[in-house]
Structure 1
């Protein structure tokens, strides 16, 4: 019990310090933009802040596979709010997030400073959201989406919604699938999933009390969709690739090397 409390206090202190540094960086970038009267690319600063926050929170991230260069639509399975700082620390990108996150203490403000694309679910917003993603991709910035539409328990991947993936087709950029998995003591971690009616603050404290969790991020081969390709079929195959990657992450937990298997790749309409 004492060890868990000490771990909680030390990580909270580190996380608080990291948030302070990130806030100062965000503030400095805002001042510079005001002085030069134009926006600057915030993704390099956001990547540093996300990676720092993830480390302070006790996530030990291992990346496998190559990040595609240039603007790309990144598609990942979704397990927890922690997917955001972890993946944001691996790739320079902009996130798509529900608008409620904007009201989270500190985190919401930092997400906005990092250029997160906030969306309001329902009310016929899907087309507007897709257009926003397509415009961001066409401007040369990568965007990450979670096409499951919700979080899962971290062992299986839920069916994907294909509508947002059409933004890549519209912008003429590839899609790069990502599998993310959490492991603790050689088994799928049961603490990381943020599901149901769980509360952010309570979930955060539970994670901070426990030893560091291992996170495997597998970057799969990019997929380019041609105009004649069936989007629903491509979406299903991307979902299967991410599921295979997640299964490989957990099946490799018992290997002596502790390294995940090579990522599976799919090629749809490659040119």
Structure 2
């Protein structure tokens, strides 16, 4: 029974990814012909695709809170690569991701075509990335970042990096905190986290072989960026996400760099 479930889920997922690749290729071709960046269209189609991708994963999702009507900088805790399709299905939105994802077969190409911005950790290009984030928000587009900079097991919350929130201040938009939690039988899910030495294929097979789990997504009250420093925004968003997840916020200060 478990093998049949895995086979059916893999087939469903493969169909969704194949269709997503075809869709991305068509949009890319249209951009070349029109010689125009179709970012708004790409974001809407990406939302549609991510909703189907999330539907192919073994999760029952519950969303609490209201979607923001105005463009905002979304900040969320980070547990797994599955955060992206689950959150991206809520609203047309772009992501900031580590540069390594760009090299992933197919997934990296799809992320690039969806408008994902990539950052190289420790490469000294944070100023350039900050300018890209600010420009993205100023164009009236939603953007989501994971200010912890890495994934966790869902049982802890790492320090939020203040430099990643500076774009909200520079572009004059509010911060939309989001708390995401994976559960199984009412307890923290041990399968969903993508951490440590996990590789994509092994994690995917482990996830698809498991019974369906639950995901709680809470859209918390937006935080105005006016008259706040980037570290104040980081500490505030970190604290209210920690409270929503019933976790202790890290004691160290949000990174000033």
* TM-score calculated relative to the size of structure 1: 0.87
**Partner residue in 2 for 1:240:** 239
- SS of the residue corresponding to residue 153 of structure 2 reads coil
- CA distance in structure 1 between the aligned counterparts of 2:245 and 2:91, rounded to whole angstroms: 19
**Partner residue in 1 for 2:229:** 230
**Partner residue in 2 for 1:204:** 204
Q: Report deviation, 1:141.
A: 0.9
- CA distance in structure 2 between the aligned counterparts of 1:59 and 1:200, rounded to whole angstroms: 18
- CA distance in structure 2 between the aligned counterparts of 1:233 and 1:109, rounded to whole angstroms: 35
Deviations 1:75-126 (A, max 9, x none): 0000011111111111211000111111112211111111110111112111
Q: Report deviation, 1:151.
A: 0.7
1:1-271 counterparts in 2 under 5 A?
Answer: 3-40=1-38, 41=40, 42-226=42-226, 228-247=227-246
Deviations 1:139-173 (A, max 9, x none): 11111110011111112221111011011000111
* TM-score calculated relative to the size of structure 2: 0.92
Mark the runs of 5 or more structure 2 residues left unpaired by the alignment.
Answer: 248-257
Deviations 1:199-235 (A, max 9, x none): 1110110000011121111001111111x32332332
- SS of the residue corresponding to residue 236 of structure 1 reads helix
Q: How many residues end up aligned between the 2 structures? A: 245
Matched-pair contact (CA < 8 Å) for 1:99–1:120: yes
Mark the runs of 5 or more structure 1 residues left unpaired by the alignment.
Answer: 249-271
Could you list the structure 1 runs, at least 4 aligned residues long, displaced by more than 6 angstroms after superposition. none
